[in-house]
Structure 1
Amino acid sequence: MRVMVLNGFIKIAFRNLKRTKGFTAINIIGLAVGMASAMLIILWVSFQWSFDKIYPKAALLYTVGSIEPSNEGFAVWFSTPKPLAAAVKNEIPQVRDVSRFSGVDRFLLTVGNKKIISGRGAFVDSTFLGMFDLPVLAGDPETALVNPSNIVLSKGMAISLFGSTDIIGKTIKVDSAEVVHVTAVLDDIPSNSRFSKSEYFLPWTFMEKIGFADQSWHNSSVDLFVLLHPNVNLGEVQQKLKGITKKNADLKTENFLKPIGESYLYDQYKNGIALGGRIEMVRAFIIIAIFILLIACINFMNLSTAQSERRAKEVGIRKVVGAGRKSLIGQFLSESILLSFVSGILALLIAYFVLPSFGQLVGSALILPLSNVYFWFSFVGFILLTGILAGSYPAFFMSSFQPVNVLKGKFIHIPQKLNPRKILVVIQFSIAVVLIIATLVIRQQLLHAQNREVGFDKKNLIYVSEIGDIPKNMELIKRTLLEQNIAISTSRTMSPITQRWSGWNGFIWEGKDPNSIIQFNRQATDEKIVATVGLQLIAGRDFDLVKFPTDSMSAIINETAAKVMNLENPIGNYIVDGTDKFTIIGVVKDFIQESPFRPVLPTVIEGAHMWLRTLHIKFNPQLSTQEALTKTEKIFKTYNPNYPFDYRFLDTEYAEKFNETQKTARLATLFAVLTIFISCLGLFGLAAYMAESRIKEIGIRKVLGASVFSVMAMLSKEFVILVIISCIIAFPIAYWAMDHYISSFGYRKEIGWDIFVITGVLTLMVAVLTVSFQSIKASLANPVNSLRNE
């Protein structure tokens, strides 16, 4: 019996949807776009939420953080000194295993005649593979990293080097010196793992063998992961870990554990307290997904209730012949679910075809898990939820009609200043306005940061990492570049000028408050960094080891450092770094090493006494870029023949600092456009229905002399008022939300009134253009055709 009733519901639903093809098409397209958008966002959210939670032992895995007092409260970071690992393992019995992780790149890997400059790799302890249970294609993960002559390759690196993954026992030469044996090959590591881009893993003992390791408690430079025993008291472990660094070194640093699955999403700290981070973006996009789906459902509700007069007699007759209200609600919900089902299939196709582009946009390898049975259960549930949500209000509204009034012709639409349909339109456009403002604010902040003074000259500037024979032939390389007029200046540094590799809060200078703890950036150079990089001198001079050999123990500071050191005339003063004493010879304007959205930290550039790893080359502007690169490559091939010429442009690297914000801006723009599209789709349908339902009124008005413009204004007026109300509601909400968003930007532009004016005008224009087609069509219609039946 129930099957027969359901079958009848479906048949009637098909007939009704077929009868109103135009409105059905609008509903299907609107729902499909909304559902596809929600699907894509849910896939992205699922990817973010699962990041670093995919390891079988994830519930017992932790990363070790560091916290230390500073003038701004407490500073938090997630790197540790190398000897901390052994101390944690030995002193805390609840710890089952530990592993350090020290990233490395640009090793030359040689197999026969094939030479590859490696991408990202890492030095790890022998326990690493067993702790994280990374997928292994070949080899024993328990013993793969025990000996210093071992190496573990990713599947991609194995194929690049050998053309196969069946390579256990094969040898690789590392940097033309050390020979290692392949002991394991990893399958593709899932992209929602922090290790997904690692191409190889080398034993920690190999790092010690080549002299890259140290036992300094003052050098926090490696990640430390901890695997606890099951069912231990985390509070006790935290308490024991807290004081280990203090006990072993004269430092104020304390350590703590953070669950491995939380470190990706909750990565922002202020004054030692976790405030969020990526999780805020995840929450924001969950809300956006709900809003977009809600807007699509509102379209359905509005268009269904707008057609209520057409179906009033149907409801009246069915009630007279015995249909109950529950039966009518079931009928209308069946229509909604059927339409939702069709929209869901279309949405799945849309999501499938746009997923690669969307994944590229968000920078994540997203997939539709079509082979997963839980996905299909979720998909069916998603369709049912959408159908019920979209059809609930029309079902209860239309099933409430009184048959006596309907069949006597007394069911007449009475205009109301406020009705549910108008409220729904206001909600739609309020959401759209908020998203438009969000897009404009993010783009404003992006442009503001991109136009910020960088503090150095990025043009014609490259850097080369000092690998292979470059260090021992450095003077010959620099001299040849200058003598052949390829470069106008060169300078060796600790790190690329756009990167911060070292920080220190232990600098001492004359007059410093002994209780003051200030975090500095630390850079180092041999000479001519001002000339090569284009720093802007405020006082003093550049490094010059030819004229001033003592410049190896000199320093240049930035203007922020001069302010926090409170030195009236910094030139000639001293700054002490541990046991080294540097004379300040210059002050430069602030330059951006880290995020362009944050304030510049005080920076000290120390002389050649420090370790140097990078060569900056300022090309002669008289040469074309290609000519300069070709000649430079020839020189490096002469003095570093075993290595490919590997370089990076500084302007390209600096531009990459904006990638994350640009990605957010593109996503916000995409979803704002989709929201406007879906909202306008519904507005178009409502305008079409309004024009159709008032066709006789329009005819009479035209017969009595009304102009085309006055008819257009009459039909558009209601929608314009609703959009204005939407703006009034949305503006304060958008301001509050975006002011909270930009508060995390240390360098930002306050939200101006112009954004709200632009948004209001844009929204009104879009709404008017959307309804204008139907308004013009109705106002130009021949009144004779609409009145001939009277």
Structure 2
Amino acid sequence: MFKNYLKIAWRNLLRNKSFSVLNIVGLSIGLAVTTLIVIWVNFEIGMDQFHENKNRIYQVYNQHPVNGEIWTWNSTPKIMGPIIQEDYPEVESAVRLQEDSEFLFAQGDVRINGNGIITDPDFLKMFSFPLLEGSIETVLEDVNSVVITESFAKKMFGNVPAVGKIVKVDNTDSFTISGVLKDLPSSTAFEFDFLMPWAFLKQRGWDDKNWSNNSIATFVMLKKETNHAAFIKRIEGLRKVYDKDSPEMVTYLYPFTRSWLYSNFENGKEIGGRIDVIRMFGIIASIILIIACINFMNLSTARSEKRAKEVGVRKVVGARRLALVSQFLGESIFISFIAAVFALIFVIIGLPHFGALVEKPLSLDLTNVGFWISAFGVICFTGLLAGSYPALFLSGFKPSSVLKGTFIKSNAAVTPRKVLVVLQFSAAIILITSSMIVAQQLKKVQDRQTGYSKNNLVYTSIEGDVEKNYALIKEELLASGAATSITRTSSPITEGWSNTWGFEWQGKNEENKIIIQRFVADEDVSETLGVEIVEGRDLDLDMYPTDSTAVLINESAAALMNFDEPIGQIVKDNGIDWHIVGVAKDFVLESPFQKIDPMVIEGAKAWFNIIHIKLNTANSTSESLAKVESVFRKYNPEYPFEYEFVDQEYAQKFNDEKRTGQLVSLFTLLTIFISCLGLFGLASYMAENRIKEIGIRKVLGASVTSITTLLSKDFLKLVLIAIVLAVPISWYFMNNWLEDFAYRIKISWWIFVLAGVVALAIALITVSYQAIKAAIVNPIKSLRTE
């Protein structure tokens, strides 16, 4: 019987080639898109899930009431890890991570900058990063030992074994390579070239016991027999014992397994994070697959009359309805299988491009048995879902009616096919409006005035001999004509590395705990960075030596501090009395999607990490950079000269939203395309159902235009209904999305009008083909049709 069903299915495919192609194309696109999104979702869900002890690992967070809300953050004091391990027997180990630690590694003529982590010896016992060389028990025990990754070892030593080799770090300390790690998998959020022992940080004097300095990450691993819920409750009061200055601060343990997907907190509660994007595209994948299945239903039932007599004959000769349902479902699964083959080809071709779009190293393991089992299940599910309604519809024909050619075709106002088309176009319109709103929001933020000049501005880190030779470097760069101005800062102009609510000023409300950004610059802030001084003057150490303790405040800080005359006022920070010499126009330091925080720009008494260089536009960029590099190599020969363009770094702030917009636009186009296939199917059904009516109307003098209008208006009504349904839904979801941004657009009515017009135009073009085709048929031929 199965063989017979297969033969019938194959014959029907060949007999109705155009119908078969439309079905297979729609299903294959739906399956391919769903597969791509599922691969991406699985990659995100699988981040750091390979660690053997993952369910016993927690990251230490802080929670503190601030201005009526509970703030949650994951940076902790350096002293916290050892205290936890010492005071709580439930803890098997606690490790601290000083991440993004950059050092120059030198061995012979090889000099490479590496980015790594300074951590405690138990790091490799807590996290499952396998060693290729070295012992997990001892690799981080010695103060001058270092563990490097396999790829970093090859850069340093080629194919020569690395363990035991001596390297110079920052031209000061000698380290012995104690272990080589297998390169980190793509499924981890950790990024490092090396691991250094915490004892080295202590040796350098960077370890402190200040409970107010929340600057590192701390992880704890509980013993196997520990009651997690009870321990999490018990540790909440840790800071009350040790941190007398913050008695209200709560120590909060957050499961390591959730940290990648759920990173956002609001008023002390987890509210989501990356999981929101994953859910959104998971829903989109489901919608696209369902729309593809709806197409199959519409296209199958559109051909119902051509198979009506087949059903009637089979019933007359004794076929039961169950057998007919089985046959039609079998045909549907067979078509789903063919579509899956094409979908797999599309996935293999498209996966590298999709991976590049989402910026993830996605892969498909065709040797994985689980994949093929899942694929088989999806094929059967899709076939059953897509074929269920056509099977029940076709098998329900009465043989007496269909053999006489008098079976009744539904002319009801509401039919399943019409409902399905409305749902299809509702989904398409929601995606159209969503992509338009995302594009509008992105354009608004990209057009936002940054408050500083991004063009021809580069920055480089202060390392090696740069600090002691800074005056000579600056003088020579200006004299060479490569740069027009230079300034040192605490961080790049595109990033905020320090903030606090601890600033004090006269008249400050003690309950005020508003975060103020702490930025540091020595002089020439206005000239180099293009920041506008709206009151007072810029920092100038040459003319005003006391400017080492001078500050600029931005407009938001001036409004917060509420001075009648800010110039000359004192602001206290880190035990220093800073005097205000100027007010700078607000500029975007961190996210352009959020409001600008109050900011204090401290003078040279603070610290510097970065040099900003304004390139001379009289030269080509490459020529200026070559001169800059030669000067840095002259005064800092042991370090490679590395730099970043400020405009490029700023542009990266839009990557996530730009990627979201591109993905939504891509899936919108695919949804529209698949929906049009469904509409095409319903139009085909309509034309077939009303062929004699069209013939009679033409005999009575109806024009092609009037017949086309008659046949098209019903479909346009369906699209109008879809618009009515889609508008409030899309407004609700997109308004919720925009609430994440302080700097945002207002959703305009014209976006919904334009989306509706686009949907109507697409529907009209799709339906008109079938309508015109039916309208121009010779009426004699139409009236002869049975």
State the TM-score, normalized to the length of structure 2: 0.97
Q: Give the secondary-structure state (helix, strand or coil) at the position aligned to 2:675.
A: helix
Q: Distance between the aligned counterparts of 1:789 and 1:556, measured in 2?
A: 87
Q: Give the secondary-structure state (helix, strand or coil) at the position aligned to 2:215.
A: strand
Q: How does 1:452-491 map to 2 (within 5 A)?
A: 452-491=448-487
Q: CA deviation at 1:786?
A: 4.2
Q: Does 1:80 align with 2:93?
A: no
Q: Distance between the aligned counterparts of 1:784 and 1:403, measured in 2?
A: 28
Question: Counterpart of 1:667?
Answer: 663
Q: Does 1:203 align with 2:197?
A: yes
Q: CA deviation at 1:566?
A: 2.2
Q: Give the secondary-structure state (helix, strand or coil) at the position aligned to 1:539.
A: strand
Question: Counterpart of 1:129?
Answer: 124
Q: Does 1:238 align with 2:229?
A: no
The match for 2:682 among 678, 686, 689 is: 686
Q: CA deviation at 1:782?
A: 4.3
Question: Counterpart of 1:450?
Answer: 446
Q: CA deviation at 1:688?
A: 3.6
Q: Distance between the aligned counterparts of 1:586 and 1:536, measured in 2?
A: 10
Question: Counterpart of 1:416?
Answer: 412
Q: CA deviation at 1:38?
A: 0.6
Q: Does 1:575 align with 2:571?
A: yes
Q: Distance between the aligned counterparts of 2:715 and 2:766, measured in 1?
A: 10
Q: Distance between the aligned counterparts of 1:121 and 1:348, measured in 2?
A: 39
Q: Give the secondary-structure state (helix, strand or coil) at the position aligned to 1:501.
A: coil
The match for 1:517 among 513, 516, 520 is: 513
Q: CA deviation at 1:121?
A: 1.6
Question: Counterpart of 2:742?
Answer: 746
Question: Counterpart of 2:218?
Answer: 224
Q: C-alpha deviations, 1:727-764, integer Å up to 9, x for none? A: 11111011111111111112111211111011111111
AA at the equivalent of 2:753: V
**Percent same amino acid at aligned positions?**
46
AA at the equivalent of 1:214: D
AA at the equivalent of 1:238: I
Bigger drift between 78-87 and 138-147 goes to 138-147
Q: Does 1:504 align with 2:482?
A: no
Q: Distance between the aligned counterparts of 1:520 and 1:242, measured in 2?
A: 27
Q: Runs (4+) of structure 1 moved beyond 6 Å?
A: none
Question: Counterpart of 2:241?
Answer: 247
Q: Say if 1:155 and 1:165, in contact at 8 Å, map to a contact too.
A: no
The match for 2:155 among 139, 142, 160 is: 160
The match for 2:146 among 144, 151, 158 is: 151
Q: Does 1:334 align with 2:344?
A: no
Q: CA deviation at 1:778?
A: 3.5
Question: Counterpart of 2:171?
Answer: 176
Aligned residues: 784
AA at the equivalent of 1:233: N
Q: C-alpha deviations, 1:560-611, integer Å up to 9, x for none? A: 1112222222211111113111111111121111111111111111111111
Q: C-alpha deviations, 1:97-141, integer Å up to 9, x for none? A: 1111112354222232222223x3211111111100113322222
Change over 3 Å in CA distance of 1:721–1:244 after alignment to 2: same
Task: Give unpaired runs (5+ residues) of structure 2.
Answer: none
Task: Give unpaired runs (5+ residues) of structure 1.
Answer: none
AA at the equivalent of 1:110: A
Q: CA deviation at 1:303?
A: 1.0
Q: Say if 1:459 and 1:651, in contact at 8 Å, map to a contact too.
A: yes
Q: Distance between the aligned counterparts of 2:150 and 2:772, measured in 1?
A: 63
Q: CA deviation at 1:781?
A: 4.0
Q: C-alpha deviations, 1:470-521, integer Å up to 9, x for none? A: 1110010111112223222111111111111111111111011122212111
AA at the equivalent of 1:439: S
Change over 3 Å in CA distance of 1:445–1:653 after alignment to 2: same
Q: C-alpha deviations, 1:691-717, integer Å up to 9, x for none? A: 345444434434443333223222322
Q: Distance between the aligned counterparts of 1:610 and 1:99, measured in 2?
A: 30
Q: Distance between the aligned counterparts of 1:668 and 1:165, measured in 2?
A: 48
Q: CA deviation at 1:10?
A: 1.9
Q: Say if 1:152 and 1:184, in contact at 8 Å, map to a contact too.
A: yes
Bigger drift between 143-152 and 103-112 goes to 103-112
AA at the equivalent of 1:559: E
Q: CA deviation at 1:94?
A: 0.8
Q: Give the secondary-structure state (helix, strand or coil) at the position aligned to 2:579.
A: strand
Q: Distance between the aligned counterparts of 1:488 and 1:541, measured in 2?
A: 20
Bigger drift between 483-492 and 237-246 goes to 237-246
Question: Counterpart of 1:550?
Answer: 546
Q: Distance between the aligned counterparts of 1:400 and 1:689, measured in 2?
A: 18
Q: CA deviation at 1:783?
A: 4.3
Q: C-alpha deviations, 1:359-413, integer Å up to 9, x for none? A: 1111111111222211111111111111111111111121111222222322132
RMSD (Å), alpha carbons: 1.8
Q: Say if 1:92 and 1:240, in contact at 8 Å, map to a contact too.
A: no
Q: Distance between the aligned counterparts of 1:162 and 1:719, measured in 2?
A: 70
Change over 3 Å in CA distance of 1:408–1:178 after alignment to 2: same
Question: Counterpart of 1:372?
Answer: 368
Question: Counterpart of 2:396?
Answer: 400
Q: Distance between the aligned counterparts of 2:610 and 2:305, measured in 1?
A: 76
Bigger drift between 326-335 and 686-695 goes to 686-695
Question: Counterpart of 1:284?
Answer: 280
Question: Counterpart of 1:560?
Answer: 556
Q: Give the secondary-structure state (helix, strand or coil) at the position aligned to 1:80.
A: coil
State the TM-score, normalized to the length of structure 1: 0.96
Q: Distance between the aligned counterparts of 2:410 and 2:188, measured in 1?
A: 60
Q: CA deviation at 1:776?
A: 3.4
Q: Say if 2:551 and 2:580, in contact at 8 Å, map to a contact too.
A: yes
Question: Counterpart of 1:71?
Answer: 67
Q: CA deviation at 1:259?
A: 0.4
AA at the equivalent of 1:149: N
Change over 3 Å in CA distance of 1:388–1:286 after alignment to 2: same
Q: C-alpha deviations, 1:287-332, integer Å up to 9, x for none? A: 1111000000000011111222221111111112111111111111
Q: Distance between the aligned counterparts of 2:604 and 2:569, measured in 1?
A: 18
Q: Distance between the aligned counterparts of 2:687 and 2:401, measured in 1?
A: 25
Q: Distance between the aligned counterparts of 1:358 and 1:214, measured in 2?
A: 46
Change over 3 Å in CA distance of 1:763–1:165 after alignment to 2: farther
Question: Counterpart of 2:268?
Answer: 272
The match for 1:766 among 762, 769, 772 is: 762
The match for 1:434 among 410, 421, 430 is: 430
Bigger drift between 357-366 and 103-112 goes to 103-112
Q: C-alpha deviations, 1:407-450, integer Å up to 9, x for none? A: 23221324222111100000111111111111111111111111
The match for 2:91 among 88, 95, 99 is: 95
Q: Does 1:591 align with 2:564?
A: no
Q: Distance between the aligned counterparts of 2:187 and 2:718, measured in 1?
A: 44
Q: Distance between the aligned counterparts of 2:564 and 2:481, measured in 1?
A: 40
Q: Distance between the aligned counterparts of 2:71 and 2:35, measured in 1?
A: 39
AA at the equivalent of 1:202: M
AA at the equivalent of 2:134: G
